[in-house]
Amino acid sequence: METTIKDITELMSGFDRLGYVIEEELATVVFLLLKLRKPILVEGNPGIGKTELANMLARLLDTQLIRLQCYEGLDVNAAVYEWNYQKQLLGIKIQEHSELNEAEKEKNIFSEDYLLKRPLLQSITAKDKAPVLLIDEIDRTDEEFEAFLLELLSEFQITIPELGTIKAQHVPYVILTSNRTRELSDALKRRCLYHWVDYPSMEKELAIVYKRFPEIEHKLATQIVHFIQGLRQKKLQKTPGVSETLDWALSLMTLGYHTLDERAVARTYGCILKSTDDIRMLQEEGIEALIIG
């Protein structure tokens, strides 16, 4: 079924109602995904909302989100399908005394009843409406798996030797994310629309904080975002993303802080810094300079 979203303005309003701040450039790419059914590849540093984009799109379309979390060594069994061998053994046992011939028994054992559908196969066999398929952190997989994806992203079909080729009943809305730990192939990029997500500006990050925590006090929100923006200018092992900003804001509010001071920062280092070297560096340089009055 075609989405009823008519234009980019309506799309941006929908994201806004869900509490996701989206810029017009990214909204345009998402709108084209909806209309052209062409996958989008979203690259950027970790923790800046790439995965959340897929979550929000699924909510906006009121459809299922199917997520494939990529990792090194990911193979077809974990991503597409595998046979339920225990159930097959039981099926063979049950069929021992049946009147089926050998060919019929084999066909029965390798039917969909014995198939375990993994995320990619789930996405093209969705029956009611097109799901959102999130292929998260594709750069963690190897080039062999990336090449396997090409058939799915080109034709939206998957071939299972025992069953034949299965075509998508509803072409999924595909979002791939990458933290750019390695360069992806040109073939994969050609099949996708592309968008780079950078760290947000001061104004956008403040808007994100307000959108997520409308009750936060203005001074605390401003101090938090200013502090984080300052941290990103330093040479850290792990630069804090938007997710750390939101975790920190929630933690400070939970602890009852109304403004930011050195003690508050020292008590909550763990929300924004993820290595002892980064914490030590900040302690040595002093944190006062990052706190505005």
Q: How far apart are CA 110 and CA 162, in angstroms?
A: 6
Q: Which ranges of the chain would DSSP assign to H, the alpha helix?
A: 8-17, 24-36, 50-61, 76-79, 85-95, 102-109, 119-124, 143-155, 186-190, 202-212, 218-231, 242-254, 262-267, 269-272, 276-285
Give the pLDDT confidence score for residue 2 in this predicted structure: 61
Give the pLDDT confidence score for residue 36 in this predicted structure: 93
Q: What is the pLDDT along the chain (293 residues), one digit of tens a residue?
A: 567 899 999 999 999 999 999 999 999 999 999 999 999 999 999 989 999 999 999 999 999 999 999 999 998 889 999 999 999 999 888 888 788 888 888 888 888 899 999 999 999 999 889 999 999 999 999 988 988 888 788 889 988 988 999 999 899 999 999 999 999 999 999 999 999 999 999 999 999 999 999 999 999 999 999 999 999 999 999 999 999 999 999 999 999 999 999 999 999 989 999 999 999 998 888 888 889 87
Q: Which of 189, 229, 179, 187 is nearest to 208 (CA)?
A: 229
* Phi/psi of residue 41, nearest 5 degrees: -110, 120
Give the pLDDT confidence score for residue 1 in this predicted structure: 54
> What class does CATH assign to 8-73+123-197?
alpha beta
Give the pLDDT confidence score for residue 104 in this predicted structure: 84
- The H or E element containing residue 42 is strand 40-44
Q: Identify residue 70 by its one-letter amino acid code.
A: C
The C-alpha angle 100, 104, 108, rounded to 5 degrees, equals: 110
